[in-house]
A and B are shown apart, each in its own frame.
Chain A
Amino acid sequence: MSASNTAPVCRAADGALSIRDVTKIYDPEGVHVVALEHCSLEIAAGEFVAVVGPSGCGKSTLLNIMAGFDYVTHGEILLDGAPLATPDTRPRPGSDRVVVFQHGALFPWKTVLENVTYGPVVQKQLDQAAADQRAREMLARVGLSNIEKSYPGQLSSGMQRRVEIIRALINDPKVLLLDEPFRAMDTVTKSASHEYLLELYNATGKTIFFITHDLEEAIFLADKVAVMTTRPGHIKLAISVDLPRPRNYRMLATQQFLDLKSQLVEAVHEEAVKAFQAGEREMA
């Protein structure tokens, strides 16, 4: 498997994200939760960005806004220079930025093949036969050839997530948005999932926005790790990961990796303490 985890074959020409001074306030007239404040981040086309930060700091909020599930209150987000989210535009999800959800959102009532072909077929880009063909090719690439007639509930969590990533990629999106997709997986499944994701990333060169709270995972996968502050969240610092690609698990033990990790631990720990104290204040 790691043999095919080769250097990127292509880098996407599009999929650049520009998050500019974004503020998100939930329920402004009522409870008034400021989830994001002056949040900015530049993501180049084809870049793999991991976002880490204490729980409840606004990571999913940012992702949901980019996905088109919610409004921004102030600021704007551009995709390849065109406005994607502004306070005046209606949020509009689309197959150019597909989300892979934390708990998985494969349709349990559709088979694996029906799930994977859903996007192209429902958008009438491919007829069912052509979509089936394409889906089979893509499933085979991640070692999932013999399960196309299974229902998601019959698969392990690792396989489900692989299928969901394929269901996203078959639409040839500009950006892949992943919200803690490997959370709650055991170590073995998780590391297998990392290999598959990296392989797909190398093969497609899509822009990836990847939320996690696992620092090692963030470094191992990403080109850039962005640390978010406690709520109201903004990007506190972004660290470039210059580990060579293709990545492999031996890199987890290199000095370079450990240095990056301690840098991140420092930054995240500071925010975690703040979050903890803020929590205590709220309780008092």
Chain B
Amino acid sequence: MQTALILIALAALILGAMAWRIHKQAKLYEVGFGRQLVNTLSSRSFQLTLAGFVIFVGLWYVTVSLLKLPWFNRLPGPVEVVSEWLSPAPVFGISIYTKDYYTHIFYSTYRATAAFLLATLLGIPFGLLMGWNKKFYDYSLPLVELIRPIPPLAWVPLAILVLPGSEPAVIFVTFLVAFFVTTLNTLLGVESIDENYFRAAKCLGASNKDILFDVVVPGALPYIFTGLQISMGASWFSLVAGEMIAAQYGLGFLIWDSYSVIAYPVIFIGMATLGIIGWASSALVRVVGRRLMAWREAELSGSARVEV
């Protein structure tokens, strides 16, 4: 009963998201919803997407469950994983019905979000300052270039020594990676701005402060958002590594722990959950970016073009 409800809720969510997207596209191409739905379902890219999923799951099923190939014979097949994931009474204690599952998700999401937000809040101003002020650039670039290549995991012991407890340490190593990505992409964004925009602004009487907010920030925004998407991905990447080493909760911990206690389906559940959350968080950054850069959307969508 409960399974059915959750499945229905999930299906409703996915269908709702798809419907929303088709509605938006229907508006863009100025056709009816039904027409656009048919167009989408019959579009090559939709069919390829579907085919991709089917092939992936099929390969998994064939190699693991059907043929039981030597290297894969200890792995659970797709049926085992999905039924464990959706089971009200999971064999290994983790499924969508268990509180533990959400505790792990909560901890990981909280850490990744905290690190990402901190990195964004500090990284963007830092990058803008580097691109804006030659002196600051000279001070900071060599340091950044030296510190950046140190892999996040190398920071874990130091972070645990300095910071109180392992929680801030995990967030710190996650933050560090995201921070460098955001800073350097912001810097790149400022450097990518055509000199003529600065000159035009000066001609029109803009002060340095005006130029910062009217030229530097909007001009760098496309690169900043590319950076934020990468930074979001990098946050999850280093978070999971950090959690495997120094945490009591979280999806990284869950995956590693399940490996040590031979709860193999849970490894897959953890990985798939990470995939979904990671994808959703990147999508969120993308949506916010689009909102803030209406001008780029307008430029890219050819239908809005005005002619002489």
**A residues adjacent to B (C-beta < 8 A):** 67-69, 93-95, 97-99, 101, 103, 105-111, 118-119, 122-123, 147, 150-151, 153-156, 158-159, 167-168, 171, 189, 192
Contact = CB atoms under 8 A, between A and B. Distances in A.
Interface residues on B, range: 20 to 34
A107 B199 contact: no
B204 A167 contact: yes
A159 B221 CA distance: 25
20 contacts: A93-B203, A99-B200, A107-B214, A107-B218, A110-B295, A119-B205, A122-B204, A122-B206, A123-B205, A147-B306, A150-B298, A151-B295, A153-B298, A154-B299, A154-B306, A155-B306, A156-B306, A168-B203, A171-B204, A192-B308
B299 A98 contact: no
Interface in B268-308: 293-296, 298-299, 304-308
B203 A95 contact: yes
By secondary structure, the A interface counts as loop
A93 B196 CA distance: 12
A97 B306 CA distance: 30
Interface string B189-220: 00000101101111111110010001100110
A242 B272 CA distance: 79
Given A93-B202, A107-B215, A108-B299, A158 B308 contact: yes
Given A109-B219, A122-B205, A101 B196 contact: yes
Interface of B: 194, 196-197, 199-207, 210, 214-215, 218-219, 221, 293-296, 298-299, 304-308
A150 B200 contact: no
B37 to A, nearest CB: 28
Contacts of B307: 156
User: Which of B199, B200, B221: most chain A CB closer than 10 A?
Assistant: B200
Given A105-B200, A167-B204, 17 more contacts: A69-B199, A93-B203, A95-B203, A108-B295, A109-B219, A110-B214, A118-B204, A122-B201, A123-B204, A151-B294, A151-B298, A153-B298, A153-B299, A154-B305, A154-B306, A156-B308, A171-B205
A195 to B, nearest CB: 12
Given A154-B306, A155-B306, A189-B308, A67 B205 contact: no
A94 B295 contact: no
Given A109-B221, A151-B299, A99 B203 contact: yes
A197 B205 CA distance: 23
Contact of A98 (B196, B204, B294, B298): B204
B306 A150 contact: yes
Nearest to A125: B205
Contact of A153 (B206, B207, B218, B295): B295
B295 A93 contact: no
The list of the 7 closest CB pairs from A to B, nearest first, reads A153-B299, A119-B204, A109-B218, A93-B202, A105-B200, A123-B205, A105-B196
A168 B202 CA distance: 12
Given A155-B306, A189-B308, A192-B308, A67 B203 contact: yes
B113 to A, nearest CB: 28
B205 A105 contact: no
Contacts of B210: 122
Contacts of A147: 306
Contacts of A68: 202
A36 to B, nearest CB: 19
B205 A95 contact: yes
Interface hub of A67, A101, A189 (most chain B Cβ within 10 A): A101
